[in-house]
Amino acid sequence: MNYLKEVVILLLGPYLILLCRRVSGEQISSKGVINLAHRQSKWTPLMQMSANLSDITSIRSFFEFRTLDPEGAVFYGDTKEGQDWFVLSLRDGIPEMQIGKADILVSVKGGRKLNDGAWHLLELRNEGKFVVLEVNNKVELVVGLHSKLVEDDLTGKIRLALGGMLVDKQKLFHPFEPEIDACIRGGHWLNLSTTWDTDSTWEPRPCFSEIKKGSYFPGTGVAMFNTSDLPGLKTEEAGITVEIFGSWTGTMLSLQSTGFEYILAVLDGNKDVKEVQLGLKEGSESVALPREPETLTFTILKHSLVVNSVTELEKESLDFFSMWKKGMLLTFGGVPGDSEKAKSTHDLRGCLEKILVQGQVIDLDRALYKHTAVSSHSCPTEAMNELT
């Protein structure tokens, strides 16, 4: 376990340094294209702004929004330093609003699924005691809220934030996974011309012009899971299967535990076959895989590891089932900590359309650690042409 902790610290090290090096933040035009993905921390908003309530002429914000991600934080607003707050998120692709005001907590979900990869115009506004959400100029959700405990006062500050919240997640009525792979453009925020403040750890990233479903690994960065958080064994005969669909080259995955490391890489072979290189740290073996269909099935049996029905490793001394249950590191896209060393392996480059563990879809937003360069729910269509 100590070994695993070291790996985690190694990975998070640069990130902690970045956090400590907080200097004055950058300012981003509120009307431009904003990529909500690729952030360093889960709940801290990507950007925020604040204004005096007395300056607000219109309690209305609208923006275009595009995602393929089913869940995450989109837009947040509060007054009274977070005593009264509001958050718009997605759950199962459907908009959900949660509001906290005095002693009231509200959660409402409804309307059409928005995670279809198309741009949608979202509008949020206050109409007296109601909050209204419009999608593509059609009213989709209306929430009314009244508390006898509070007087509405129009002094003080209003804060807005994108891709996170400024209050503790414990305040949520219905918890959700905040990370979202989404883009926003053409925003109008309460008719303010204020710019967004970001912190210096944020690296602006462009939005792909055309997207398709999948997780995109650009050639740097990994996504790491603790296997004890993933679906477990059903039957010993079937073992544990990891299925990967897509188009890629480089190191697909690695499996690590105390004193054990396994790396599965896919190197570009000739036209018809892709070479798959496997191995423990020292020597490695190769097996040819057909190029079509590009599916990789990695099966973990009690004492062996199997790739597309070919047994690649047998170790009677290891019990992979109990190691899986206790918690190994399963890393997609490379080997944890490798980027600090000389590049001995090639990080994954390509689009993983789907990753299944025991038949269940794996969401990279739920990884223990995901590098900010990896897109959890969208692949650029243009880069894929380049690859093939």
Ligand X SMILES: *[C@@H]1O[C@H](CO)[C@@H](O)[C@H](O)[C@H]1NC(C)=O
> Which spans of this chain sit near ligand X (rule: CB under 6 A)?
1, 4, 8, 51-52, 55, 57-58, 191, 226, 228, 327, 368
CB 217 within 8 A of CB 380: no
Bridge partner list, 96 = 89, 109
Q: Judged by CB, which is closer to ligand X: 326, or 346? A: 326
Q: How far is the CB of 54 from ligand X (least distance, A)?
A: 7
CB 160 within 8 A of CB 184: no
CA atoms within 13 A on the CB side of 245: 11
Taking the alpha carbons at both ends of the chain, their separation in whole angstroms is 40
Q: Judged by CB, which is closer to ligand X: 198, or 227? A: 227
- What is the Cα–Cα distance from 78 to 100, expressed in whole angstroms? 9
Q: How far is the CB of 225 from ligand X (least distance, A)?
A: 9
What are phi and psi for residue 143, nearest 5 degrees? Answer: -120, 125
- What is the Cα–Cα distance from 31 to 287, expressed in whole angstroms? 51
Q: How far is the CB of 161 from ligand X (least distance, A)?
A: 16
Q: How far is the CB of 201 from ligand X (least distance, A)?
A: 23
Q: Judged by CB, which is closer to ligand X: 4, or 108? A: 4
Q: Judged by CB, which is closer to ligand X: 29, or 58? A: 58
CA atoms within 13 A on the CB side of 59: 16
Q: How far is the CB of 108 from ligand X (least distance, A)?
A: 26
Q: Judged by CB, which is closer to ligand X: 4, or 379? A: 4
Q: Judged by CB, which is closer to ligand X: 191, or 381? A: 191
Q: How far is the CB of 273 from ligand X (least distance, A)?
A: 35
Peptide bond into 218 cis (omega under 30): no
The dihedral sign for the CA sequence 359, 364, 365, 368: positive
